[in-house]
Amino acid sequence: MTEYRHNGKLITFEGCEGVGKSTQIRLLGEYFEQRGIDALFTREPGGTEVSERIRELLKDDDLDMCAETELLLFEAARYENTRRIIIPALEAGKIVVVDRYIDSTTAYQSFGRGLDRETVEKLNRYATAGVKIDLTVFLDAPPFANTTRGADDRMENAGAEFHDRVYEGYGKIGEDEERFVFVPTLGDKYATNARIIKLLEDRGII
Ligand code: TMP
């Protein structure tokens, strides 16, 4: 597997449905902008036209698919985003912030759908093309919001038990990963934002 040499930093955001991930990413973006910090923001599945189209398939509540197909589609979207968007930005020395990355796949497709964890992690490694994550911010709150949103979103509508398994899964993923930091997110959004900024400073990312 290729090892990339670059001065960039890769930060991933993870969390269950409706825990305020988008808000925290937006607040961090505003902070970077105020400070003139060169960063690239992307999301998964998404980031390129192909990946955004795969995202539509994955979210379409009218479609039914095998869990394995779902896994491979998330990984396909990831490879495109990693190769075409994330790696070039890291090589240009940028901070790259990804809204969901490999831990989402382990949490949702392995713990949630019940697919073999080793297989999922092997595919995660393949789809990330050898890129290393510097920090994962896990916004730690139970998935209480998923059922109230009532969106016509195939993943959000996977059921309360599914989303509980995802939350438990994140807890287990975080146990063995030094890069993975649990950030409680039920309080004031600005306090959470300040905590994340401090974390980035402590880890030498900014
Ligand atoms: P979101 O970006 O709006 O959170 O939507 C992405 C949805 O897809 C969300 O329900 C989490 C899910 N997901 C997976 O199941 N596996 C993955 O690998 C990724 C990136 C997302």
CB atoms within 10 A of CB 187: 10
> Is residue 144 scored above 70 in pLDDT?
no
Ligand 1 centroid – CA 45 distance (Å)? 7
Residue 120's nearest CA partner among 106, 107, 130, 104 is: 106
Predicted structure pTM score: 0.96
Task: Name residues whose C-beta falls within 8 Å of residue 83's C-beta, 6 or more positions apart in sequence.
Answer: 129
CA of 15 to the centre of ligand 1 (A): 10
Q: What is the predicted pLDDT for the residue at 1?
A: 65
Ligand 1 within 6 A of 103 CB?
no
- Tens of pLDDT, residue by residue over 176-190, are 899 999 999 978 999
pLDDT at residue 111 tops 90: yes
- The mean pLDDT of the chain is 94
Q: Residue 4: pLDDT above 80?
A: no
Instruction: Give the residue from 84, 90, 74 showing the smallest Cα distance to 7.
Output: 90
